[in-house]
Amino acid sequence: MIAASVALGTAFALIAPSSALAGDATPAAASTGTTYYVSSTHGDDGNAGTDQNHPWKTLDKVNAIATDLKPGDSVLLERGSTFQDQYLHIKDTSGTADAPITIADYGDASAKPVIAANGVKGSQWYQNYRASVGNHQNKGTVSSTILLKDVSYITVKNLEITNDDPDVYDPIDTWKWTDTADSDGTKLDRSADRMDRTGVAGIAENGTTMSHVTLEGLNIHDVDGNIYNKHMANGGIYFMAHYARENKSAADNTWLQNHISRFDHITIKNNIVKDVDRWGIAVGYTAYLNFIDATWGDGSIDDDLIAKYGQTNVTIENNYVKGAGGDAITLMYCDRPVIQYNVGDSVSKHMNDVDYPHDREHGGRYGGWVAAGIWPWRCKDPIFQYNEMYNNLNSEHGNGDGQAWDADYGDGTLYQYNYSYGNSFASLMICNQYAINTTFRYNISQNDRRGVFDLPGNGPGNHIYNNTVYIGKDSAVLTDRSNSQAKFENNIFINASDTKKTETWNRGNQHGGQTYDNNMYVNYANKPASDSNAVEVADVKTVLANAGHAEKQSSLIGTGTEDLFNTAWCPKEPYQHIYFGYPRVNNDVGFLGRTHVYRFFIQDPVFFEKGLKATIEHGHNNCLTLDLATVAYWYQDKATAVPAIPDKAGRKLKPMVNNVMIHKWRHEWRKNKGNKADLWGDE
């Protein structure tokens, strides 16, 4: 509930669950430019395609004009349409800030338009980094359902995208594969030569910045890419940058330093990515790693260097990734990206010693079968917040990772307000000597199965504080390979098993090893020697009483009505703001009369799922007798019946009152209550 400290009528605006934010509504046509309509059911490629009643039938017509799209142009696909064996490849064009290019949906049908490339020849293109990218595959043929190459100011939204191989058996919910064919006669293709496939591929390679690209409200699934070629365009969504030309000489090298293919303002939000190989969502891998990583030093990343060659203003938010063959979400070579409100579920499904047999046979050519959940690679100051990662698979079956979070070869990684549970390995890994200055705070780890913190030889400057971890009987605070530095402060370590646990609190001293201060240890037989301010709690039942249950009605207690409505000292003059205001006060007596205030929680929404109760304190300690009326507005994703709106007479303003009447009413109320001292406020 929301409580305020003085009695005023009020209006609240609240926002319902995040599903309401996904935005399946038909977009409005751009104010400038041409709108092209495509319908697989009502279209004809002989039509002009420029009005809704005469749409094109196939995406071939769009691909034919793709390079000619102009600022403000829109390509709209009819909802309920299915475009089998088709694709969209948009190249070498750009909208503007005021008039972006839009690829989206139209119509009243409930189902999003489907584009199913199925690996057809036309969807295939040749990817070439034009540079070595370590021991990874750097060129080859890729099939992409949607290809965005050297485009800017473009939005793709509200589409369903697949790139399926009908001969591949690839379920989500199991890791244990066999050579036995499925009921439809198919089986998993473990070949290292399997086609590289993407749902959406973003490619920068013309030596300039590809900017302001938004992917929103997409449903991407059944993309049967190659599980080995992790840095080819494989998976649900993958953005990567190539050299603009081959680097064969000193002159080429100088030219490339001034003709940089990179990304700026990439936004990926409100998408579902399910059952894809290899990555769920990946942004930023680049041929220009050869400049960024030319000198590793101590692992620190120079601000100017990453801003010049890396990806800037990248935001990944409100996405759900399930059943990826490898990692859920990864940011690579990004400068201060923000990754928030995402969920990863049951990923790394192919990172096991049955489905991934060829790496051993080829001397590590494919980079090993390792996959974490949501993590950065060689990023500067990335922020990961409000994410959830659970059931990352296969650490017990060959996956060398299996963590929820992985601060990997980066500088200044921040994880805060995240939740991990049931992952096959740890919650957090800080990976090796070039992972420095990691901060992990305000996170929860619950039953991550083979440890919580994995510290294999990482660099210095890592701070782990204000976290809560629940540890099962077969897990531990530190994994058995944790030999490097981290400072643990103000954490709560809860051994949730039935018996006290003896923990190995220190597992190596690289860069000073692990140090502890002011942590709480619940149900432990020992504590770290370095923690002179330790708080020990013997009985886990005391801490875990009623675990998983909050108060019946969760509360948000405010500091007063004046603060809630962004005013002070009870103004006597009306004022109005877009989000809050006092549109009515009672003349010279101000707040003492009939008053109307409002606040809309637009920039700070209050989320709820089933119901919400808001209360207002009437005077100090509820000591005043008042007549309050409130109204609340909310937004929901489905229409339901609402009460009838009062007629004009019912909405008529009540007359003003004066201070004499107010005090008379208060006096009578207090007298009826016995005139007790606590009934008198300072009003």
CB neighbourhood size of 390 (10 A):
19
* Spatial CA neighbour of 454 closest among 521, 392, 532: 392
Yes or no: say if 657 and 594 are a contact pair by the CB < 8 Å rule.
Answer: yes
Partnered with residue 140 across adjacent β-strands are 127
Q: Which residue spans within 467-626 are E strands per DSSP? A: 468-471, 486-489, 492-495, 514-517, 520-522, 535-537, 556-557, 575-576, 580-584, 596-600
Are the beta carbons of 263 and 202 closer than 8 angstroms?
A: yes
Half-sphere exposure of 66 (CA within 13 A, CB side): 20
Cβ neighbour number for residue 128 with a 10 Å cutoff: 13
Catalytic residue among 165, 401, 448, 454: 401
359 membership: H or E segment, kind and range: helix 358-361
Catalytic residue, chosen from 264, 408, 454, 531, is 408
Residue 511, number of CB atoms within 10 A of its CB: 18
167 is catalytic: no
Structure tokens at 258: 């001034």
DSSP string covering 373-426, please?
SEEEES-BS-EEES-EEE----GGGT-S---SEEEES-BS-EEES-EEES-SS-
Q: Give alpha helix (H) positions in 22-158.
A: 60-65
Q: Is 365:398 a contact under the CB 8 Å cutoff?
A: no
> Does the annotation mark 401 as catalytic?
yes
**What's the rounded Cα separation, in Å, for the pair 265 and 112?**
26
CB contact set of 471 (below 8 Å; sequence gap of 6+): 447, 452, 477, 493, 494, 495, 496, 497, 501
Name which of 34, 26, 41 is nearest 106 in CA terms.
26
- Give catalytic residue positions: 401, 408
